[in-house]
Amino acid sequence: MIFKDFDLKKLFQLMQEHEVSELSFKDGKTEISIKRGREPIFVNTAVPVREAQATSAQTTAPRPEEKELETPSKSEIPLENYHAVTAPLVGTFYRASGPDAAPFVEVGDQVKTGDVLCIVEAMKSMNEIQSDVNGIVKEICANNAELVEFDQVLFKIQKNG
């Protein structure tokens, strides 16, 4: 069959390259269905909405629509295969317990379930955000002392252990 030497990654790359948005295929009696081109996605340029990129769960590849709506992110790391720790509440993000204290974690650190990753200050109260997995911190996605939205991705962690 035509997919013989194909792996999925290559297929997706190919689809992306050619703006193919849907493809379905059946082998038994060879069914193919391909869809190209997208709905014109409205990209909000006026307001910098910081999008919550994923929920606090093992994430899957983002759908192309979601990709479009991301703000120019510092992130070069795709969410696939990473675990996202998101903000459970709105507030100000702090990487350390005080102005002179060392950050709770840095990129590359090994963390385990229950380790404090950061603080989100909400209404003058300090809320510790803990890791819910064991793994290595791959990216810190929020800026110190800045507002984080509900469900905003704060850390990407590569699970292990």
Residues 6+ apart with CB under 8 A from 101: none
Question: Looking up tokens 């903000």, which residue turns up?
Answer: 87
Pick one of a copy of itself, another protein, none as the site partner of residue 98 (Cβ within 5 to 8 A by kind). Answer: none
Query: Binding-site residue total for a copy of itself (CB under 8 A)?
Result: 35
Residue placing its CB nearer to a copy of itself in the complex, 21 or 75 = 21
Half-sphere exposure for 121 (CA within 13 Å, toward CB) = 12
CB of 68 to another protein, least distance (A): 12
Element (H, E) at 68: helix 64-69
Q: Where does this chain bind another protein (CB under 8 A)?
A: 40, 42, 44, 46-52, 69, 89-92, 121-124, 146-152
CB of 22 to a copy of itself, least distance (A): 5
| Burial class of residue 117 in the structure, from the number of CB atoms within 10 Å of its CB (0-12 exposed, 13-18 middle, 19+ buried) | buried
CB 6 within 8 A of CB 23: no
Choose one: 20-28, 89-97, 119-127, 150-158; the region binding a copy of itself (CB under 8 A). Answer: 20-28
CB of 6 to a copy of itself, least distance (A): 7
Q: Under rule CB under 8 A, which residues in 32-61 are in contact with a copy of itself?
A: 32-38
How far apart, in whole angstroms, are the C-alpha atoms of residue 39 and residue 146?
Answer: 34
